[in-house]
Structure 1
């Protein structure tokens, strides 16, 4: 492009930005601001403008001087450290024994050796080629220009592959297009002239065709709103650098196994090169902004930089900036030098392990491989420089003020560096950081205040903090001096370890509620730490949970016997009182069943989805949840109330994260028995509703089979849409379809093939709606595909039934999945609804469990009363709910919250009831009993309530093989805790959860009665 054309485009852009260019005084700060932005965003790599000065500023120079002085002070006078510091005296013995006795251990060590041999066999210059001086770029928001809008979507990110055997290229994980590519050249340049670095980036076809529009609107978009320009060559640099740092561990372990100096020598060479490059890599964020200044100065002053330090190719990204003050687009949360997300500080541990294991290594000539010069360089310009980069984000040196899901990486890095370099101040910050995370990020039930996947993210770097510092000898002046072993003395830590294990699905994954992906499950590190520290929880299940190949940590810390075991985890029926999510189960192993009801309080990475239902039968997903497709425009639908299995009121969103008015969910009842389990919860998530309440009753058959009764009561608003969709019969299902029995639904049009489209109508909302007005009160819908089907039984009087399809995408690739949706619609002023439904999955061999089902009229029992007669292949049930008045139906008298009378296929009769005064059929059952024990308490302990009101005469709270939940406010929400036993004036709870100190003194304990003939 000629200089004339560049000047013309710049002038046109300036006029457009200014509205009236004549109003800007030439030479003014505003004129310089606009000139600067126009010049940078052209993308031609412009250097300094005439009014800019070259070289570092006085502020940067003085800042760097203070930093280097601080490094000197920290490293001076350290206590003598015995290396290795991160491994106990038995670590090498365990390693060798595991290699000898465990095939998985040999597989892992062979992998170390493969990587290590590959590196040491490379020619001179290989390390410098792999760790380049030019700052790495990143894969956030990656878009493949070759297959975007066909096979992949804009900004999907993280779909690029890299192979260390072909280090100078990446490829799309879907279409396999290789980059860098002449077909997609990196023609744009982002110059950081003050620091002497230039970055090549890709302008897409829209940007190249409209060079006068440098707003960023034509760039590929990440999360639908953030312009992103890829640097394929920069992604290569990042992949190479990350590989080499990870390989430091492989080399160090191989050195430990073989004693061959060449492996340790490679560790020294790699870390020396990293120290040289890291010191000068520029600070940048994940929205394409580079700070053209001292990188540590940028990290400390990221929200207060001169405009001339900020470099970004999209003009809209400068809107909030003045000439004197500009901001990076993200804090250290999404920024760094090696990688723009807390600077990939989880990799510091790899470097620390490599340094630790080779600290005393000598060459073949017996001379130390670590010269004093190299040791000083690595400690100052790699370890401390990296740690300093993250300190400001925590509040400054010595601070541990933050406890979000990113900071565990920083605290973990500090723990490792503190031990290896002999810096107790960093061990102190790390332990204080763990304590802040434990106390603020995790609830008293061990679950974080975010989703399951994000709880796992917290744990991924939080748990290693405790592990790295286990056995550390705290200095006498330390507040942690003499502290007990936290694994034995910290009940909150134990709860954190227990929580993920207890909420696994039969497939040993996390339930995809809220921002949890469909495939996420426990990490290997978590499971291995658990085997070591809490063997009573994890023993005998190692191979079931982790497979046969352990991690490096396991080889050094676990014995071969610990790594064996194919037992299934004993997954409980459970309610998490802080997360406020209930799990009802039947069966064991991968073909078990699970019904989960979520009504969590507000929190990060949660959804507007109170009372959403998720259901798995026989190990297969029946009622679904879209979960989480990270950082994409799909999240607007995924997070929406409208995308969940629940009742949508007035076609509106539930209240969610409203300042000073959080939603208030409430546990109403929960019990479990061998033949039936139930839970009821409510929420005020809809302000127009005075009642928004769901009760599910899981009927348990043999071999883990189930039928699920679903009662949803809503009062308020003018439109209630009971929404149900299944994971079955999606657009991916083979020979899939939705059939109706009892209503004449119009024929379904073909499901739309939206592919990779990000158009609003393709990723949000329902379409192709078919309608039946004034349907009968009893009908069924079946979601069918090859190998499995699901039948929905409706027993609700409705104004209409809608059948539609909606977005069902649950991962980045492949895109475009659609699911079939049914809505049962009721309308009216100040509407009151009782939705009555049964969810019935068939078996894998095609057998439907229900022979017949009907709703029985019980007008005298009360407006909310429900009675269902269900006959199945394994037995018959009479399910009764919310009988305000004692009423007889099918020779059964009932009054109370919920009661079930059953008869098994072998003729055995049984009953179960919660919060009931009467449930009587002939000689079976009870009558005129107390439905609940409630009152105040004289004293509350962690697992014990001393009641001010004596237990009612004849009160039944527990039965053999059953569990009941005490209802109490924990200081924030009306929740519940599992019961252990009751005495005359004392209620004891199990030790699974402890009552928080903030618990209120009022309680309610519904009666629970269960018996079999």
Structure 2
């Protein structure tokens, strides 16, 4: 729910939800052992799904129109994706996230801690405020405060000078508009990757897989150096190996990067609740799921990927992207989405420990975060947000079995597991259906709105549950 009021509430809740114990790192040896057992595509889109989609293309005009639009966009990307495009939209420096508009404040206008920003791939170096229409970079509001990483001195972060802002509970915040731009660029690259992968999955045209591979390899080049940072407009960066930062997010081995007048305390503000490496606010799992699905759809394209390229993408994009999530032991309406990303990365790369970690988060969500009868522990809006973060489990875990010879550390082995059939997932959907009003909307309580309801895209999952 990309709503500013909801994000405000999430940030406030994050002040109390952050202090979780540090988790364990990913054992890359497990991946080495089992990666060869994966049969692609294996994630949320299975081979049977693609076969059914192709039959729909033969039978239905609506399907052909969908593919026509998909291919039009993908064809444009094939022509655009070159070295310049890759370095522009997948920057070397860690993305930022949100931040308030300094021009709104200077003009005496109301401002929101996250800002109200417009960005376009046609002008990728610019950011516009939807409220006051100011375009950045702007000489009246220079990013005169600069901090540089000592762990990776190539990374430098600029922030607006002058008086600080109060962003939710963060008293002295400085917006980084260049960081917001980097986040929007990464979002565009990820959306482009998804389009290319879907186009290949439906057509098996290798030019789409080639362009998708180029994007994935660029992420493999930069992601291992992306720092762990505090999301929203907080602007703190862990100035150390991202794996160590993920494992010790509230007990960093050295000072984090902060701008004045703030002083480091060797913690990332709000801990895992808002932590990110890819430009989110504690919700990197969606990105991980997108790149894993794209790789899953394209990695077997004949003559496109070399074995070394596959290994590099699996290690430096999929597993690297899931590392932060794998260290977070808490369950909340953000972390469950990160568990989804971790499970998909594990399923696609061949890391069954990671699959079990992610599935464990899903089980805890439907059995602990939701009430015993499937009811929401919070408002309908929060329940729907949580369900949106875990909907991929219902698609991934359809008759899932662990690799031959594998058993988890606790001895569990999954054979023919179905997330909709073998958990309380269906009860959670049933409760949301039962609490709809006569107008098929939920009561506008807490952070829910008059328009809050269940989208049509959930119909298949509800039927399976």
State the TM-score, normalizing by the size of structure 2. 0.85
Q: Is 2:318 aligned against 1:383?
A: yes
Q: Rg: which structure is higher?
A: 1
CA distance in 2, matches of 1:361, 1:456: 36
Q: Secondary structure at the match of 1:393?
A: coil
CA contact (8 A) 2:101 2:129 kept: yes
- Kindly indicate whether the alpha-carbon contact (under 8 Å) linking 1:451 and 1:513 is maintained by their aligned counterparts in 2: yes
Asked if 1:487 is matched to 2:417, the reply is no
Answer yes or no: is the 8 Å Cα contact 2:41–2:297 preserved in 1.
yes
Q: Which residue of 2 aligns with 1:125?
A: 84
Q: Distance in 2 between matches of 1:225 and 1:430?
A: 31
Which fold has the larger relative contact order, with Cα–Cα distance below 8 Å and residues 6 or more apart in sequence?
A: 2
Indicate the residue corresponding to 1:335 in structure 2: 275
Partner of 2:40: 83
Query: What's the offset of the Cα at 1:136?
Result: 0.8
Matched, 1:370 2:305: yes
CA-to-partner distance for each residue in 1:518-555, whole Å, 9 max, x for gaps?
Answer: 54332454334224x15xxxxxxxxxxxxxxxxxxxxx
Provide the alpha-carbon RMSD of the alignment: 2.7
Q: Are the aligned partners of 2:31 and 2:349 in contact in 1 as well (CA < 8 Å)?
A: no
Quote how far apart the aligned CAs of 1:351 are: 0.9
* Post-superposition offset of 1:223: 2.1
CA distance in 2 between counterparts of 1:526 and 1:127 reads 34
Matches within 5 A, 1:801-812: none
Measure the CA separation in 1 of the matches of 2:195 and 2:205. Answer: 13
Counterpart of 2:251 (choices 289, 293, 304) is 304
Preserved contact between residue 284 and residue 338 of structure 2 (Cα < 8 Å): no
Check 1:222–1:474 CA distance in 2 against 1; reply closer, same or farther (3 A cut).
Answer: same
Please report how far the alpha carbon of residue 101 of structure 1 lies from its aligned counterpart in structure 2 after TM superposition. 5.0
Give 1:250 deviation, angstroms.
0.7
Tell me the equivalent position of 2:208.
Answer: 263
2:458 aligned with 1:526: yes
Q: Deviations over 1:551-589 (max 9, x none)?
A: xxxxxxxxxxxxxxxxxxxxxxxxxxxxxxxxxxxxxxx
Q: 1:530 & 1:236 partners in 2: Cα distance?
A: 37
Shift of 1:178: 2.0
Shift of the 161–510 alpha-carbon distance from structure 1 to 2, 3 Å rule, reads: farther
Q: What is the 5 A alignment of 1:259-298?
A: 259-286=204-231, 287-298=234-245
Q: CA deviation at 1:137?
A: 0.9
Mapped to 1, the partners of 2:443 and 2:206 lie a distance apart of 48
Output the CA distance in 2 between the equivalents of 1:151 and 1:111: 44
Q: How much does 1:79 deviate? A: 4.7
Counterpart in 2 of 1:867? none
Secondary structure (helix, strand or coil) at the match of 1:241 reads helix
Secondary structure of residue in 2 paired with 1:227: strand
Equivalences for residues 848-927 of structure 1 within 5 A = none
Higher helix proportion (structure 1 or 2): 2
Within the alignment, does 1:186 sit opposite 2:143 as a pair? yes
Whether the 8 Å CA contact 1:336–1:342 is kept in 2: the answer is: yes
For residue 456 of structure 1, the aligned residue among 380, 384, 387 is 384
Q: For residues 493 and 224 of structure 1, what CA distance do their matches in structure 2 show? A: 34
Does residue 1:405 correspond to 2:333, yes or no?
yes
Partner of 1:222: 167
Q: What's the CA shift for 1:240?
A: 0.9
Native 8 Å contact 1:164 1:243 kept in 2: yes
| Aligned partner of residue 253 in structure 1, secondary structure | helix
What's the CA shift for 1:113?
A: 2.4
| Maintained 8 Å contact 2:101/2:175 | no
Find the residue that maps to 1:146 and give its secondary structure: helix
Q: Please state how far the C-alpha of 1:199 moved relative to its aligned partner.
A: 0.9
CA distance, structure 2, for counterparts of residue 136 and residue 276 of structure 1: 15
- Aligned residue for 2:128, secondary structure, equals strand
1:348–1:484 Cα change, 3 Å: closer
Q: Per-residue deviation at 1:405?
A: 1.2
Q: Is the 8 A contact 1:332 1:341 kept in 2?
A: no
Shift, 1:117, TM fit: 2.2
- Superposed, which structure 2 residues align to 1:574-593 within 5 Å? none
Quote the Cα distance in structure 2 between the aligned partners of 1:314 and 1:513.
40
- Relative distance call for 1:518 and 1:183 in structure 2 (3 A) is farther
Equivalent of residue 352 in structure 1, options 267, 279, 292: 292
Matched, 1:467 2:381: no
Aligned partner of 1:514 in structure 2 is 446
Contact kept, 8 Å, 1:415 with 1:427, in 2: the verdict is: yes
Match of 2:93 in 1: 134
Residue 290 of structure 1 aligns to a residue whose secondary structure is: coil
The whole-number CA distance in structure 2 between the counterparts of 1:335 and 1:317 is 19
Q: What is the deviation of 1:284?
A: 0.9
Offset at residue 158 of structure 1 (A): 5.2
Structure with the largest fraction of strand: 1
Q: Secondary structure at the match of 1:190?
A: strand
Q: Distance in 2 between matches of 1:152 and 1:517?
A: 26
Query: Structure 1 76/481 Cα, relative in aligned 2: closer, same or farther at 3 Å?
Result: closer
Deviations 1:7-28 (A, max 9, x none): xxxxxxxxxxxxxxxxxxxxxx
Change (3 A) 1:370 1:72: farther
Number of residues paired by the alignment?
432
Q: 1:615-668, CA deviations, whole angstroms, 9 ceiling, x for partnerless residues?
A: xxxxxxxxxxxxxxxxxxxxxxxxxxxxxxxxxxxxxxxxxxxxxxxxxxxxxx
CA distance in 2, matches of 1:278, 1:427: 21
TM-score scaled by structure 1?
A: 0.40
Q: Which moved more, 1:105-114 or 1:230-239?
A: 105-114
Q: Secondary structure of 2:381's partner?
A: helix
| Contact 1:116–1:250 under 8 Å retained in 2 | yes
How far, CA to CA, are the matches of 1:115 and 1:226 in structure 2? 43
CA contact (8 A) 1:249 1:354 kept: yes
1:444 equivalent in structure 2: 372
Relative to structure 1, is the Cα distance of residues 435 and 306 closer, same or farther in structure 2, using a 3 angstrom cutoff? closer
- Looking at structure 2, the residues matched to 282 and 263 of structure 1 have their Cα atoms a distance apart, in angstroms, of 30
Distance verdict in 2 for CA 1:289–1:274, change over 3 Å: same
CA 1:487–1:295: 2 relative to 1, 3 Å: closer
